[in-house]
Amino acid sequence: MNRNKLRLKYLLYDIISAFIVWVLFMLFRRTVNDAQLFENVRIFIPNYNFLSILFVYPFVCAFFHYISGFYLKPDQQSKTGYILTTFTSSALISIVIFFVLLLDDILVSYQYYYYSLLVLFILMFSITLIFRSLIISDVNNRFKTKKWTINTLIIGIGKNASKIASELEKNSYKNTLYGFVSVDNTTFTVPKDSIIGNFSQIEQLITQNAIEEVIIALDDPDELKLFNYINTLYKFNIDIKFTPRLHEILTGSARIGSVGLNPLVSLTDIHMPDWQIATKRVFDIAFSTLMLILLLPVFLYFAIAIKFDSKGPVFYLQERIGRYGKAFNILKFRTMHQNAENGTPKLSSATDERVTRIGKILRKYRIDELPQFWNILMGEMSVVGPRPERKYYINQIIEDAPYYCLLYKIRPGLTSWGPIKIGYSDTIEKMVERLNYDIIYMEDMSLLNDLQIMILTIEILFKGKGV
C-alpha cells in the first residue's frame, strides 16, 4: 500500500467533485438570477466571472480539505470520522465562499441568498462524500481481500506477545502478522517456527518484509531496554506501539486501537487533532516564507557584520537529529570563530571565549537562529517544537533520560517550553531538564499552546534574554 498515492487519489477526487459542485451551483444560480451574480464584484480578482471561479474553486476546496486533516491518515478513515470531517470542511467552504464572493449580491433577495448558501453546502457535502465513499469502499475491500495489508512484527515471544497475536488475528483484518522477534533469552510460548529472528536483525527484517507496524509486547520489560528498542525502531518511519504498564493506563496514554479491546500505547501518534496538525504545517510554511522575505534586510546586515567581524563563512551548518531520528543540517548565523570546536563537540556558555563580538549580540537576541526559517520551510523543523540536538549529546542525555527518543515523533522547532524555561543549555543536566519541558509540550500539543510559546519567545527576544 502506498499512502502517498492514496492521498493523491483523494485529492484528485476532491478536486473533481468540487468542479462538479461549482457547475451545478452555477446552473442553480442561473435559474435564480440569470447568471449575473458576479457583475461589478471586484474582490481579490478583477473581472470576476464564472470561468475564473470554476478553476479557482476546486483548489480552494482542496486547501480547506487539507487543513481539516483528512489527508493525514488516508488508510485509517473510520465511517464516522470521514463523514464528520467532510461535513465540517463542506460547511466551512460554503460559508467562506459566500462571505468572500457573494457579500455584494444585492440583486437577489435575502431569502434566495440563504437558499443559495444551503444549496452550495448540500451539493458540496453530498458530492464530496459520494466520491470519498467510493475510495473508502475500495480501500476496505482491498484490505479485506489482502490485496493491501499492514505488515506487522511483534517484538517478544512470551505470553504477552501470544495474546497480542491472537487479538490481531481475531479483530484486525488490515494487519498481516509476519512473525515474532525474540529479545535476550526470553522463554517462548509462541510457535517456534513463527519466530523469524532476533532484535539484532531488526533492520534486515523490517526492510526485507516491508514492515509498516511494530508492536513491542514484552512480558516484563526493563525500562532502559524498552527505550533502547524504541530508539532503534524510530529511524524506520513505521508505526510503533507497545502494551501499556499501569502508569500508561492511569495517565491516559493507553488507548484502545485497532487490536480489539486490548489497549496499546502508540509511540508515533501525535496527541493533537488532525486538523490542528495540518493547520500547524500550513502556518509553518506561510510564516517561515513571510519571515524569510521580511527579514531579508536583517539577514544582509548581519551577514556583512559577521564577515567584517571575523574570518569564516556567514552561515554555520551543524548536523542535528530531527523527526524519526533522522539527521539534518540546521542553519545558523556563525557566532563563533572558525574551527572553534576542532572536531570535538563542546557546549557553549554566556562567557564562552570562542564566541565572536557580533556572535554575542546574535545569541543575546537569538538572531543567530533566524536562518532556521529555511529549515522550517523545507519541512525539517517547525516554528514551535523541541530544540533538535546533536547525536553526540543525545547519547549522553539517554544515559540519564532514555525516553529522549519520544521526541522523534514530532518535528523539532525553533522554540518551545524548553528554550523558554532553560535558555541555552550549557550542561547535560540542563539538557535533561529542557527535555522534560519538551515532553510536557509534546503531550499537550495544541495551536493555543503554540501561540502562547511564540508570544513568550518574542518577549525574550526583545528583552535580550537569549543567553
Residue the block writes with cell 522534560: 436
Question: Alpha-carbon distance 235 to 154, whole Å?
Answer: 17
Contact assessment for residue 122 and residue 133, using Cβ atoms and an 8 Å cutoff: no
DSSP state of 355: B
pLDDT beyond 80 at 50: no
C-alpha cell at 194: 513463527
**Can you say whether the dihedral through the CA atoms of 110, 116, 118, 121 is positive or negative?**
negative
Could you report the per-residue pLDDT of 169-187, keeping only the tens digit for each?
887 888 899 999 998 776 7
Domain ranges of the chain: 3-144, 150-266, 274-463
Q: Which CATH number fits domain 150-266: 3.40.50.720, 3.20.20.100, 3.40.630.40, 3.65.10.10?
A: 3.40.50.720
- Residue 44: CB atoms within 10 A of its CB come to 9
pLDDT beyond 50 at 98: yes
Quick one: which of 243, 230, 248, 239 has its CA closest to 268?
Answer: 239
Split at pLDDT 50, 70, 90, the class of 350 is low
Contact assessment for residue 457 and residue 415, using Cβ atoms and an 8 Å cutoff: yes
Residue the block writes with cell 542535528: 320
Split at pLDDT 50, 70, 90, the class of 41 is very low
C-alpha cell at 32: 435564480
Q: SS3 for 330? A: strand
| Identity at 97, one-letter amino acid code | I
Quick one: which of 77, 82, 91, 85 has its CA closest to 123?
Answer: 91
pTM metric for this prediction: 0.84
Average pLDDT, the chain: 84
Beta-carbon contacts of 379 under 8 Å, excluding residues fewer than 6 positions away, are 281, 411
The confidence score (pLDDT) of residue 237 equals 82
